[in-house]
Structure 1
Amino acid sequence: MNQLLSIYEGNLAQPSSIGSYKPEDVVFLLKDLSNVELERGTEDREEAIQSGTHYSEMLPIEYRPSDDYIQLYRETLLATANKVAEAVAVVSEQIVARRGKSVVLASLARAGTPIGVLIKRYLQTFHGLDVPHYSISIIRGKGIDENALKYMLRRHPDGNIQFVDGWTGKGAIRKVLIEACGSFYDRYGVRLNDDLAVLADPGCCSATYGTREDFLIPSACLNSTVSGLVSRTVLRDDLIGPDDYHGAKFYRELAEDDLSNEYVDTIEAQSEAVREAAKAKAEQLLSDGEDPVTWQGEQDIRAIQRDYGIADVNLVKPGVGETTRVLLRRVPWKILVDDKSNPNLAPILLLAADRGVPVEEYPELTYSCCGIIKPLKGESE
């Protein structure tokens, strides 16, 4: 009982008014660090990460895509909006079936945020549920923001927290979530469900998913301009106090380039058309008694690590979403693809050509593609 009471002790900051989404769509439980200089150039940041500086202590400079790339993003969004909407509906139907009406959405900033917005809207439209939705930080090697969890538990003591993200790679964040929920129980006596709901789970490491296909979720194409103008999350002792939430920057100066609300509106517009097919798929997944979490993707990554003599597995980033991130904000060495004619790969091939990164075919890859970060030394993100 004393453990449980400790959740309600101490002062927690009120949420910052950051992000370009509508206030009713999401509340960011993040400390506003907009006035702090945190960005470092790609090469400088990569060297720092691989020399031991934790990636959460600095930010990449926001990549400004070319007009051609923005055009490709828009074409991809139109081509996949129906598919993404169906995955949102499949996941939403599973969430309401498993978690009930008292669900509280906790999307993992920042890739999970637009997905959480879409799930919240779906549950409102088709189930009449006005569920709370928060965006919170989780960081590999440091864990989840426990102050954010405490805030949600205080505000919604009878709520059932459902963690949400965009997609899985090799499952690193899911493992952090599992460990974090275990630590939270040990510390406070509160058991949280470590299930991570994602739209695409090519790595086979989530039980609640829309599809196992490794297709491009268009929000992976861009950074803050499709995620509410919010940066990656930051955790540094000199910036984040014991009662603070993890930090992030709000890039207000990019407002003219912001596509965040257009993105969710475009996908939401397809919800009615896909609902019946999605309900049928969700019912099939719910009736499947077998545990769908096999971590198959991780096994494939170990094979790539062996074949290419890569000492640090963290330099291997599988899946369309993670490969896009490698090309946007890391120093890529090469890109592996299952088949260069795979239609899911158009944005990857354009970005690779733009940055002069070689692309190689790697047959029988579980994923559509895999990005390999250029090895320097030390640890990686």
Structure 2
Amino acid sequence: MYKNIAISLFFFLGSAMLSAQVNLLPIFSDNMVLQQQTQAPIWGKSKPDKKVEIITSWDQKRYTVQADAQGNWKTEVYTPVAGGPYTITISDGKPIKLNNVMIGEVWVCSGQSNMEMQVEGWGKVMNYQQEKEEANNYPNIRFLLVEKATSPLPINDIKAAGNGWQVCSSKSVADFSAAGYFFGRDLHKYQNVPIGLIDTSWGGTYIETWTSKDALATMPDMQKKLDVLNKLPISKEDREKKFHSDVEDWKKEIEKIDKGFVNSQAVWATPDFEDSVWKTMKVPGLMQDQGLKGFNGIVWFRKTIDIPTDWAGKELTLNVGVIDDNDFTYFNGVQIGHTEGWMTPRSYKVPKELVKGGKAVIAVRVMD
């Protein structure tokens, strides 16, 4: 979705370090864009009770605010009609200057994979090389690419690519939202004003993860999930440990109902398993187009190959391609690789001690 918004909506994002006494978020950096003709909030951290002064070059006006007991401070500055470049100087005795600041229209680009798909990244738009080069013609479009993070509680910091706003160029546009960029480019052409684009998209996320806990609490069907959320560890490290532990427990439960496993052994991956009654499928290709329409679950694939005798005892590389979603890949019954996530190329090493001349079996357990 798109939402025209003043930069004030980022009040919940806390602060990140800059190389000065005053600490600012990455949204306050060189090359930034502020919403035109509004009272734009600016905030950060300093020493407790410290006086902070902000000077805006477009009107040379001085704003003074005092940090609270925790060092947090916030004020609002008046922004004129679209234009620039300008500077903003922020000082608590040790000044920092934000350069190349533009005044214009600021938009948030949020959503799932259709918004996250990049100009050149894992999707590649049509004529992407030409589109990349033409991006150099729009230096008054600016990008802020927010790095992904999860937390069971509101957080006080964010990270951004390049630690702040990037001027539109063939380099900066490559990893930016394609939908966001083309929207912003058209807006820039039609309105002839600087455009600030903030990319906060994350493919595959549920809408509930973008919804406040207070709002979800009004929905009876969400109570059990909120109880789970409330029990999550606070620290990122502990959450990651719990996540990996939960995934391993889930995989063990899946193995109990996967006919390819017997007593935790991948019997369908062994070379001597009889697979003559198995159906065939063309790969690469979509399983859903080959008799498994609407299927979600586990599918095993096997292929017998001939290993030249002069390859024996040599390490090999097996390129499996991309798989939706997860794979467990075996060579002669031994797991040689496992990857989580769709559209990720798989390339695995076959240890030399497994490589013998003659017949060999590659088995891939696909978890869709």
Calculate the TM-score normalised by the size of structure 1.
0.22
Calculate the TM-score normalised by the size of structure 2.
0.23
Relative contact order, higher structure (CA 8 A, sep 6+): 1
More strand by share: 2
